[in-house]
């Protein structure tokens, strides 16, 4: 919460977006989709911002992905007409889904026959559905070999108002990959799995598509054989996790959290910032020595964050406090009252914590 009565805009942690870099990231991914003849349906859960959504619209985007019914409502109200809720259908939200389906072209996800059955009996307006496939992330989805469940979902969704749109996945296991080659291998395997499923069902359901979309795969892959639609989200800002995975360069990171330095502790080469888990989340990456890294501290000069001066990493976070290691000469010269920028580990979570309009 912003305190009252303070004029200095950086007196408390501030989520900053570089519009130019953001625009370049959007343009680059939109061009990649165009070059590969893919439907580009970016995930808006990263930014959750109507304004950033408009930057996508300027790049020609008309179809979007969201991760909740409330997010679908937010963007439908902002004029988005083609929305996929890429989260398995929650049977307790069918009323809201009906309201959305009345006004926008809506797609939902099933990974259990009960969801298909539950919606089929209550749906009042035309809607599309994808079957969510688990290609190895093991978070949600039907295993690609489980034809029995796929067929049962298809029969359970037997309403004239429900149209089968195809097979959708999120290969989130790319986030645990150890190399770019491993990410590309996951991408190739994912594409082959979805394509084979589509081949199995295309005769019966002409027009079905394959949809995938994790930022590491979409950023690194040049070819998308077997894929019809991509839905990356994180690429709009990128972050420290993506930098570590090799999905982006530092220059492509479009969001940072500006934090005041509160105290410095030269005896232990550490400093304290106003910036904690409520601003950055507790997401971490693991350093080579096994320690946790909650964000990278970089200089903030003339309203812009700069390249890192060294390994000035956030080593611990509590609710409002962050402690960072002052590795570089620059970090050791910091004084209370100075400003630093934190490159967040996971920009989706940091953006969500600040929730810009
Ligand atoms: N689609 C689904 C179903 C997701 O869960 C996510 C992210 O969690 C995405 C797309 C976007 O992936 P990323 O965050 O890697 O851009």
Per-residue pLDDT for 5 more than 90?
no
**CA of 260 relative to ligand 1 center, distance in Å:** 32
The whole-model pTM stands at 0.95
Which is more confident, 6 or 54?
54
DSSP 284-344: -EE-TTS-EE-EEEEEEETTEE----S--BEEEE-SSEEEEE--SHHHHT--TT-EEEEEE
Q: 2 falls in which pLDDT band (50, 70, 90)?
A: low
The dihedral built from the CA positions of residue 198, 201, 203 and 204, taken in this order, carries a sign that is negative
Q: Name, in order, each residue with C-beta under 8 angstroms of 16's C-beta and a sequence gap of 6 or more.
A: 255, 256, 257, 258, 305, 341
Q: What are phi and psi of 63, to 5 degrees?
A: -120, 140
Which is more confident, 5 or 14?
14
- 155 vs 164: CA distance, rounded Å: 11
Q: Whose CA is nearest to atom 2 of ligand 1?
A: 170
**CA of 3 relative to ligand 1 center, distance in Å:** 34
- pLDDT (0 to 100) of residue 1: 63
Residue to probe by mutation, ligand 1, list 63, 89, 170, 283, most atoms within 8 Å of CB: 170
Q: 357 falls in which pLDDT band (50, 70, 90)?
A: very low
Q: pLDDT tens digits, residue range 291-335?
A: 999 999 999 999 999 999 999 999 999 999 999 999 999 999 999
Q: pLDDT tens digits, residue range 140-187?
A: 999 999 999 999 999 999 999 999 999 999 999 999 999 999 999 999
Rounded (5°) CA angle 240-242-246: 115
DSSP 102-129: HHSEEEEEESSHHHHHHHHHH--S-EEE
Q: pLDDT tens digits, residue range 210-259?
A: 999 999 999 999 999 999 999 999 999 999 999 999 999 999 999 999 99
- pLDDT (0 to 100) of residue 356: 52
Residue to probe by mutation, ligand 1, list 29, 43, 171, 234, most atoms within 8 Å of CB: 43
**CA of 111 relative to ligand 1 center, distance in Å:** 16
Task: Give the nearest ligand 1 atom to 233 CA.
Answer: 16
Q: Name, in order, each residue with C-beta under 8 angstroms of 51's C-beta and a sequence gap of 6 or more.
A: 356, 357
**CA of 330 relative to ligand 1 center, distance in Å:** 36
Q: Whose CA is nearest to atom 5 of ligand 1?
A: 170
Q: pLDDT tens digits, residue range 262-297?
A: 999 999 999 999 999 999 999 999 988 889 999 999
- pLDDT (0 to 100) of residue 289: 85
Q: Give the pairing type, strands 321-325 and 270-274.
A: antiparallel
Q: What percent of the chain has pLDDT over 70?
A: 99
């Amino acid at each position: 919460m912003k305190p009252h009565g303070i004029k200095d805009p950086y007196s408390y942690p501030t989520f900053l977006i570089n519009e130019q870099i953001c625009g370049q990231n959007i343009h680059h991914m939109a061009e990649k989709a165009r070059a590969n003849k893919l439907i580009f349906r970016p995930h808006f859960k990263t930014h959750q911002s109507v304004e950033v959504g408009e930057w996508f619209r300027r790049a020609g985007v008309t179809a979007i992905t969201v991760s909740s019914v409330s997010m679908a409502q937010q963007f439908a109200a902002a004029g988005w007409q083609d929305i996929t809720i890429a989260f398995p259908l929650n049977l307790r939200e069918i009323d809201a889904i009906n309201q959305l389906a009345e006004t926008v072209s809506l797609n939902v996800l099933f990974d259990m026959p009960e969801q298909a059955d539950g919606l089929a009996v209550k749906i009042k307006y035309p809607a599309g559905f994808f079957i969510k496939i688990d290609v190895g992330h093991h978070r949600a989805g039907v295993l690609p070999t489980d034809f029995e469940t796929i067929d049962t979902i298809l029969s359970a969704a037997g309403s004239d108002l429900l149209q089968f749109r195809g097979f959708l996945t999120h290969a989130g296991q790319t986030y645990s990959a150890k190399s770019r080659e491993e990410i590309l291998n996951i991408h190739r395997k994912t594409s082959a799995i979805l394509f084979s499923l589509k081949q199995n069902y295309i005769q019966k359901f002409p027009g079905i598509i394959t949809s995938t979309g994790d930022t590491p795969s979409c950023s690194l892959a040049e070819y998308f054989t077997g894929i019809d639609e991509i839905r990356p989200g994180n690429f709009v800002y990128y972050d420290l996790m993506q930098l570590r995975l090799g999905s982006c360069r530092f220059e492509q990171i479009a969001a940072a959290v500006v934090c005041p330095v509160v105290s410095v502790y030269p005896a232990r080469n550490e400093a304290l910032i106003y910036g904690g888990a409520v601003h950055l989340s507790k997401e971490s990456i693991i350093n080579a020595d096994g320690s946790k890294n909650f964000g990278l501290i970089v200089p903030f000069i003339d309203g812009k964050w700069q390249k890192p001066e060294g390994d000035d990493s956030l080593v611990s976070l509590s609710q409002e406090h962050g402690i960072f290691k002052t590795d570089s000469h620059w970090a050791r010269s910091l004084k209370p009252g100075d400003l630093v920028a934190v490159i967040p580990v996971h920009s989706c979570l940091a953006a969500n914590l600040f929730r810009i309009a």
